[in-house]
Structure 1
């Protein structure tokens, strides 16, 4: 059976399902959860959407957003099916999943680095987004695409293609987007919520990040650091600042941008790589224990942010052959002995 057929076979008979996505969810992750909820509503199944991380505030406009619950330690009865959306590894769902008894794990994703952790896996790296796959699922299930479902699916495609600007933007996703507009998605309204409506604090944070940006024009490399202190000073949660990840790459002449983001818990740093597909940043991320796409990838390091910058930036120079200087690898090798062989 094809991936969509196997997935539908696992979902259609389930009476209770747990739906979740990766830590620090993005637009495709959040909208995919809601899209699946809309698809399965007609089946009469009891659906619980539970995440370990809050969703970014700009996505509050999505239909059904109130259905997403933040895990707070509550106990749940066993779920016959767990659906993981847009998540390359099971541990990226968060440790809360280990506290809930689940049966069959259904894994739906478009990341080439997905490690096929599900009992049922549907992984399509040719898809621009998980939202694209859920549109195919809706069609396979014979579910009509109403305005609410269309809005969620369109948002997933829009955000994971970077407003139709990333290298994963394809004729296929444009055809899907056109159809979803015909089904009731409002592109102007969705774009306003996501790209043309920012708080003063968010704009101040963006300005500070740009001011503190490090640019090496000769090496076509730029990087920046986003700390909790910066977010607190601007009155912006670090979750709502995730879209600033593209700023380093936006510099003219830069083909690789890196954002180092401090976690709420000390001793951890999120490293996000962005490119136009060359260099393939998924290779860099995988070598550091992460994953992603050729143009957008990342990893989490058990390091303070300053230490991560001091170690990763020289390593990137060395890995890409852009500077003849020895990288500082000792600390990273200690934590990732298999992932940092140049």
Structure 2
């Protein structure tokens, strides 16, 4: 499939790259990193980055504003997006050919071509491997592309702490850091948070009571977010808040918005993506997202998370 994608990139003079809504560093890193590789390798091609900008990720890249006409005769590549509903800027279907590049389980196939590899730590890792596969065909990697792909890998591996980090991941990182970009500045942009967010994190930890199942629940109502002056988009920066707590094996964030309650699920063992799929979402076994529409529905999800955690602990005890 990488060979086919390389041939498509060589063939088309206009390439538009998308990623998922509510982006994270891997979404931006894979989207903008691929764009930078194509621009560096083929200066005569027109490359556009589509989607709604996320201000907190402007340090990575800025996106393009363009008309529907640009999709005429264009190759569209969608990065890091498991299902069509989550593609940021739904004009992607106006292109001549659509390619899906993703590392989430392929439960909702779309596009004319698909390269899906759930064993990859991140889509940015896959984009690096696409570059390696295309080197003999003229693909080039520059400092900016290396910075973007490295940020995507770091973001989706939790600074290489998650089990998704493999030999492939460290090999890619080893090659990317050979390029002269400022890693210290990049880490500062990724992990430093404003005081208002630090205070909200402190409030959440102070109020948290781990459940007997090993699950933890964080409810961020609109009123709580307003009290601390934090937007729902900014909450992604501390979704891993319970990862270092010994008594917690899985946790859920509920973030209330005007018309939906966003759900972020994280785990240190129990598989939670099947649970997410039952609540309008999906993702990885240890990191998933979903949506509910009432707090009663949120309570039902919590009960199911309790069961998932209890089953995991019971199985672990049997194994021991």
* TMscore range, shorter length: 0.7 to 0.9
Contact 2:213-2:309 at 8 Å conserved across structures: no
Identify the residue that residue 34 of structure 1 maps to in structure 2: 32
**Partners of 2:55 and 2:243 in 1: how far apart?**
22
Match of 2:190 in 1: 194
Partner of 2:144: 148
Q: Could you list the runs of 5+ residues in structure 1 that have no partner in the other structure?
A: 323-342
The number of residue pairs the alignment matches comes to 306
Please state whether the residue corresponding to 2:177 is helix, strand or coil: helix
Shift of 1:75: 4.1
Contact 1:83-1:108 within 8 A present in 2 as well: yes
Instruction: Check 1:300–1:121 CA distance in 2 against 1; reply closer, same or farther (3 A cut).
Output: same
- 2:180 match: secondary structure: coil
Structure 1 segments (4+ residues) deviating >3 Å: 74-77, 318-322
TM-score w.r.t. length of structure 2:
0.88
Match of 1:300 among 259, 273, 291: 291
* Residues 152-186 of structure 1, C-alpha deviations (whole Å, 9 max, x = no match): 01001100001111110112211211111112244
RMSD: 2.2
1:176-187 aligned at under 5 Å gives the runs 176-187=172-183
Deviation at 1:69, TM superposition (A): 3.9
Query: In the alignment, what sits opposite 2:276?
Result: 285
CA contact (8 A) 1:77 1:101 kept: no
Structure 2: unaligned runs, 5 residues or longer: 312-320
Offset at residue 33 of structure 1 (A): 1.1
Match of 1:111 among 81, 104, 111: 104
Matching residue within 294, 298, 319 for 1:309? 298
Q: Residues 321 and 70 from structure 1, CA distance in 2 versus in 1: closer, same or farther, beyond 3 angstroms?
A: farther
Q: 1:76, 1:100 within 8 Å by CA — same for their partners in 2?
A: no
- The match for 1:219 among 213, 219, 222 is 213
**1:231 is aligned to 2:229:** no
Which deviations, in whole Å up to 9, do the C-alpha atoms of 1:107-139 show, x marking residues without a partner? Answer: 000112452211110011111000111111122
Name the structure 1 match of 2:253: 259
**2:120 aligned with 1:131, yes or no?**
no
